[in-house]
Every structure is written in C-alpha cells, then in structure tokens.
Amino acid sequence: MLNAEDIAFYRENGYLMVENAVSPEQLARLREITYGLIEKSRAVTESDDVFDLDEGHTAAQPRLTRIKLPHKQDPYYWDVLKNSRMTEVLAALLGPDTMIQTSKLNTKAPGGGAAVEWHQDWAFYPHSNDDMLAFGLMLEDVDEANGPLQVIPGTHKGPVLSHHSADSGVFCGAVDPEDPLFDHEKAVTLTGKAGSMTVHHVRTLHGSAPNLSDRNRLILFYECRAADAWPLVGSASYGKLASGGGQALWDHFADSVITGNMTTEPRAEAVPMRLPLPPAPDAGSIFKTQKSGGARSAFTAREKVGA
Ligand SMILES: O=C(O)CCC(=O)C(=O)O
C-alpha cells in the first residue's frame, strides 16, 4: 500500500495522506455506529467517560467535541483497525509489532465545533522512543471549511515545545502562539474524501481550526506505537491504570496489541522529552486540558480573522 516514496516522504516530513484506507463497507458501518453514538449523547448532560460535550450541547441539538476511546465503545472500531489496510501502513512505518496507545473520535459539530490548539502528541505522552504515530480516518469529507487537521512539516525532528501555560505553570496541552519556535507560516492543511486517512508522527506539530461549515467534521484518530516504545510516567491515561496495580497495567497492554507481539524489553532512544505535569484542573480530554489549563488560542488570532 505504501511505496518507498511514501515512506521517505513520511520520514522527511512527519506526515502523510493515505487514500481509501478502509473499504466502502467499513466506512458505511463506521458512520452508522458513530451517528448512533451521537444520537445516544442526547441523553447526556455532562461530559463523562464516553462523551466530551461541546458548549451548547442539548438533547435537541447534540454538540460533542469527542467520543472517547471509540475502540472501547464499540468493537467494530477495533476490528477495522486490525482488519484494514491500516495494518499495512503500521507495518511500513512502525514495523511488525504494534500497539494502540489511545483512540478518539473528534466530532466537530457544524457552526463552530471547537478548535484543537497546536500541540505535539509527544508532549502528552513521552515514551522510551518516538516510533509512534496517529492515524486520522475521515468519516466525512474534510475540506478547508470544516476544521481540517493542519501540520507543520519537519517538526517531528525538532524540539518538544513548551505546552505549559506561562500564566499558571500547568500543562495546558498547547504551544504558545507567540513561541518563536512555532512557525505557523509553514502549516500544511490536510483535506480529503471520507475514507482518506492522515498520518502524523507523534512529534509533529498539529492543530485544527473551528468547524465553520454546516457539516460535521468526523475524524477517527487511532494513536499507535511500536511495541518497544514504552510509556514514561506522566501520561494521565496510564496514571489511571497504574492505580489499579501492575496486573491492570499488564492486562491493558495485552489488550492493546494490534499486530505482532508485546515486549518487556523497551528500546530507549535519546529523544527530547518534557513531562505533562502538573496537570490542568480538568484533564478529561485535550479540549478540557487546553481550556482549563488556560491555553492561548492561535486560531482566534489567525484563522478566525482569515489572517
Ligand atoms: O481533531 C483534530 O483536528 C486534532 C486532534 C488532535 O490532535 C488530538 O485530539 O490530539
């Protein structure tokens, strides 16, 4: 599925577009399940373990920022990851042994669905090496108007920028728009037809503007790692598991294998790291972390005014 040129492009730029990552049947079923979950969210009044609610969410008009851990909400999301062309992309970019780090379905509602401020996933969850990436499977067409993912090529080879609020000192999950290392002029916008998939390296700077269209922007993210990239203390999601003890952690990892085998021999590389601590007051999702942590918006300053 990926040729040598694609692989070289990814290694050089830290991102890639892949068309037709799933079959039309898989796409149709994923959409059906996703819209079913959005329907269910009508009964929900506060963000919980499944739904992250956007401002203005009501029973009459569901507005979600996210469905959390979709592969835990319906087994079909997991089935698609394991039984589609995605596994070929994983093998080409991460090798034969791969695991899921997390998943999320960012569901930007029409007419203003929340921006995701610029960040590096690596700042949220440093590991012993950075052979990690995120797939972004488009469940609806994504264009300039409905809040596409944007990336800054080459940043996967650069430093980890500060994702801490200059005001409060907490981890706010976003870079400061005025950070001199944040070169927004180089941003590339990733649009495509439903069924297309973005791939970005764990250290690539990325973000997305609000959804200003009258259409949903549904992107299903699977964040994956080489099995020998081992999590370091500091990531909120692993923190929860660790409180269940070693067995809970082990069971979680055993359930996270996508291809090949897990390992108890992590590979350590000399990669730059920062820890996502102390946490923002509400670390329930990236949206909550950025808001409650006091992240400054790059989008109000730029895209919203068309600058
Ligand atoms: O939804 C998006 O456009 C970006 C999502 C993202 O980067 C994240 O949730 O970490």
What are the residues facing 53 on neighbouring strands? 64
In percent, the amount of the chain with pLDDT more than 70 equals: 95
Phi and psi at residue 134, to the nearest 5°: -120, 135
**Helix, coil or strand: residue 86:** helix
Residue type, 106: N
Protein residues with CB under 6 Å of any ligand 1 atom = 104, 106, 116, 121, 149, 206, 208, 219, 286
Q: Distance between CA 74 and CA 270 in Å, rounded?
A: 37
Structure tokens at 294: 């006091």
Ligand 1 pocket test, pick from 64, 105, 106 with the greatest ligand atom count within 8 Å of Cβ, gives: 106
Phi-psi region of 112 (alpha: psi -120 to 50; beta: other; left: phi over 0): left
Q: What is the secondary structure of 103-115 as a DSSP string?
A: EEEEEEPTTTB--
Phi-psi region of 19 (alpha: psi -120 to 50; beta: other; left: phi over 0): beta
- Mean pLDDT in the chain? 93
Whether the pLDDT of residue 177 is over 80: the answer is: yes
Residue 265 Cα to ligand 1 middle (Å) = 30
Q: How confident is the model at residue 302 (pLDDT cuts 50, 70, 90)?
A: very low
Total residue length of the chain:
307
pLDDT in tens, 63-87: 999 999 999 999 999 999 999 999 9
Residue 287 Cα to ligand 1 middle (Å) = 9
Q: How confident is the model at residue 243 (pLDDT cuts 50, 70, 90)?
A: confident
Residue 259 Cα to ligand 1 middle (Å) = 24
pLDDT in tens, 7-24: 999 999 999 999 999 999
Q: How confident is the model at residue 176 (pLDDT cuts 50, 70, 90)?
A: very high
Query: How would you list the strands of the sheet with 188-190, edge to edge?
Result: 116-119, 206-208, 149-151, 188-190
Q: Distance between CA 277 and CA 260 in Å, rounded?
A: 33
Atom 9 in ligand 1: which residue has the minimum CA distance? 286
Q: Structural domains in the chain? A: 4-292 (2.60.120.620)
Q: Distance between CA 303 and CA 307 in Å, rounded?
A: 6
Instruction: Report the pLDDT value the prediction gives residue 235, as an integer from 0 to 100.
Output: 65
Q: Higher pLDDT residue, 23 or 307?
A: 23
The DSSP letter of residue 114 is: -
Q: Distance between CA 292 and CA 110 in Å, rounded?
A: 23
Which residues have CB under 8 Å from 91's CB, separation 6+?
A: 98, 259
Instruction: Report the pLDDT value the prediction gives residue 237, as an integer from 0 to 100.
Output: 65
pLDDT in tens, 203-236: 999 999 999 999 999 999 999 999 999 998 766 6
pTM of the model: 0.94
Q: How confident is the model at residue 307 (pLDDT cuts 50, 70, 90)?
A: very low
Q: Distance between CA 186 and CA 207 in Å, rounded?
A: 13
Nearest to residue 70, comparing CAs of 58, 81, 78, 61?
78
